[in-house]
Chains A and B, each alone.
Chain A
Amino acid sequence: MNEHVLLVEDDASIREIASLGLEQAGFRVTSSGDGREGLVQFRQSAFDLVVLDVMLPTLDGFEVCREIRKDSQTPIVMLTARADLHDVIVGLELGADDYMTKPFELPELVARIKAVLRRSAADPGDHVIAVDGLEIDPAGFTVRRGEEEIALTATEFKLLLELARRPKQVFTRELLLELVWNYDYLGDSRLVDAAVQRLRGKIEADPKEPKLIRTVRGVGYRFDAG
């Protein structure tokens, strides 16, 4: 596979051992110890995924994430030093696909990276779903409203696809974690909430009054076609 991963982490030991671990898992790794430099590297070559620490010199992880999301849908996994609700939510709202809190086990990081990358893999053989002026093309990995293409991250796309495939069905957060993030019971339902928020921001006419992705109070979410 040899996917190319950009690792931005300021602690030299963590950077080195994580690079080593990812390389042994079969990834090609470019690493950087500083936010600004990491962003420059990201723009110089093509990466399949970015692993981003929050606490970074010159430009923090949130800023780097924001910059990347301005013109790229490359998957991002954030490394947070704290399991602070606030940190996690900020990262997810900025468009990170997943997060890991330190300290983490290397195999877990590898597993999450693989799960995120699997999401970006096209799902051929699936036909185009058209609802409410929205065209979802699983093979082409694109979403259109009329002529206009809507840029979604792999996570957002997968989430939309899972919901839109079975309109009217109520999805619990746990089920979505399983379907989209490939997590078992132990995943964090905030991942789902933050991703739904972002997705609504992109596909709903009025994200404050969502018509397509409805919240089912106390349960989860439901896709309403028209």
Chain B
Amino acid sequence: MPLRRRLTIAFGLAVGLTAVALAAGSYFVVRHNLLRDSVKSSAKQARKNLTLAPSYLPGTKNLLDAYTRTGGFETIGFVGDQSFASKLFLEPKEVPASLRRIVGRGQLGYQRETVSGTHYLIVGGPAGDAQLYFFFSEQGLRHELAVLRNILLAGGGLLVLLAVLGGAVLARQTLRPVARASAAAHSLAEGLLETRLPVEGQDEFGGWAQAFNEMATALEAKISALSAAQARERRFTADVAHELRTPLTALVGEASLLSEHLDRMPDQSRRPAELLIADVGRLRRLVEDLMEISRLDAGAEAVQPEAVDLASATGAILRARGWDGRVRLDTEKTIVTTDPRRLERIVANLVGNALEHGGDGVVIRVGRDGARAFVEVADQGPGIPPDHLSHLFERFYKADPARSSPGSGLGLAIAQENARLLGGEIEVWSEPGKGSRFTLRL
């Protein structure tokens, strides 16, 4: 149960129980007093009546007339076997036997009875050889008590209701800092690092809010320092790659002119020139990959989706690189909405790797696996040891540090970033000795 509800209920209960106890107590005190007063005054009147009686008896009519003049009660009398009553509906049997026994012993007695729906206090006593019973109506008294009870019940109910409402408001007030702190923690978690709590008052919540804010400030400082460092690092990479471009363009041009004249070079300079040309090519690939990955990091790469048939696109990519004779294709027409240029980067990278490491026996499958389209590049090369698999998509990661490969070390990282940009991913499966399988899923 939430803390707020528990607090509300506790408050309501405390106030409610107190109110009920007070109301019940006062009701019973009032009731007791009223009933006692009623007995006292009725007994007083009964005594008066009894003293008056001998002067009229045995003539009952005059006695009853005298009583009627006094008013406020009805009378039943017994003289020997005879009985008389001031009202027709009062029959001798209405006088309770227990009361009659008390009066029979010559004592004054009283008892409460309901006769024809009316509450009476019956006071009886002996008058000579007669017994007289006086019926005092307590209807008014009962009614007053009922009204009082209803008032107390209604008041108590209202009080409990108010107590619950007040408790709810109070609980909310008390717990507001908790709710605020929890919302603040959520927004911190979602990355709104500038979230702070208002510090109100000197109580425990105030201290807590202050501590929370200090934590948030420290966290914000740490994270912004980290992301600034990361941004600097990325910017540096982008700048380096960019600055390398101009001299590299010149180098590429020079190497390309040089390559046209290789056969006319003296032997001792031809080999170095060949190496120079090859290295310029390698440098060019590295710089281009660096440029691409820093653009991907900066989120500067736009996706231009269009309807593409993965099968024919893959065929075209292979043909454009002269690879179509070296791989086996197992494709079916698979139309997806994607950016063909990014797709080309990914597929070319995967196939290039497979051809380089796997040699012959590269098989490319294109199709659909449930809702997702896939391009799978499988080779029968030496495979990748399991402990290298999870690092494969890291930048500049080389499974074998001693072995230099013609790639930049960024190829798979770029391919993976591109795949993510297309809303897909690249999965890898490999078993040493059997080969590797890279699957692009879109």
Contacts and interface: CB of A to CB of B under 8 A. Distances in A.
Q: Do these two chains really belong together in a complex?
A: yes
B215 to A, nearest CB: 41
Nearest to A17: B253
A107 B255 CA distance: 11
Interface string B244-286: 0111111111101100100000000000000000000000100
Nearest to A189: B304
B302 A85 contact: yes
Contact of A13 (B247, B256, B337): B247
Given A13-B247, A81-B246, A103 B256 contact: no
Interface stretch (A18-26, A61-69, A156-164, A203-211): A18-26
Nearest to A187: B341
Contact of B246 (A102, A189, A219): A102
A185 B320 contact: yes
A82 B242 contact: yes
Interface in A12-50: 13-14, 17-18, 20-21, 24
Contacts of B252: 103-106
A218 interface: yes
Interface string A181-192: 000111011100
Contacts of B147: none
Contacts of A122: none
B317 interface: yes
A81 B288 CA distance: 11
Contacts of A184: 320
Contacts of B341: 188
B291 interface: yes
B371 interface: no
B287 interface: yes
Contacts of B249: 11, 14, 102-104
Interface string A151-175: 0000000000000000000000000
Contacts of B253: 13-14, 17-18, 21, 104-106
A83 interface: yes
Contacts of A102: 245-246, 248-249
Interface in A75-127: 81-85, 102-107
Contacts of B301: 85
A189 B303 CA distance: 12
B88 interface: no
A24 B257 contact: yes
B257 A20 contact: yes
A186 B284 CA distance: 19
A84 B300 contact: yes
Contacts of A104: 249, 252-253
* Chain A interface residue number, banded: 20 to 34
A21 B341 CA distance: 29
A20 B254 CA distance: 9
A107 B302 contact: no
Nearest to A10: B246
A82 B254 CA distance: 20
Which of B249, B251, B252, B304 neighbours the largest number of chain A CB atoms within 10 Å of its CB?
Answer: B249
B307 interface: yes
Contact of A81 (B245, B304, B316): B245
A110 to B, nearest CB: 10
B94 interface: no
Nearest to A102: B249
Contacts of A17: 250, 253-254, 257
B307 A219 contact: yes
Interface string B300-317: 111010110000000011
A107 B260 CA distance: 11
A103 B304 contact: no
Given A81-B246, A103-B245, A186 B320 contact: yes
A105 B242 contact: no
Nearest to B287: A103
B302 to A, nearest CB: 5
Interface string B19-40: 0000000000000000000000
A93 to B, nearest CB: 16
A24 B302 CA distance: 38
A189 B317 CA distance: 16
A218 B306 contact: yes
A21 B307 CA distance: 39
7 contacts: A14-B249, A17-B254, A83-B295, A103-B245, A103-B251, A105-B252, A188-B341
- Return the 5 tightest CB-CB contacts between A and B, nearest first: A13-B250, A17-B253, A103-B249, A102-B249, A185-B316
Interface of A: 11, 13-14, 17-18, 20-21, 24, 81-85, 102-107, 184-186, 188-190, 218-219
Interface of B: 242, 245-254, 256-257, 260, 284, 287-288, 291, 295, 300-302, 304, 306-307, 316-317, 319-320, 337, 341, 344
Given A85-B300, A103-B284, A185-B317, 7 more contacts: A11-B246, A21-B256, A21-B257, A24-B260, A104-B252, A104-B253, A186-B320
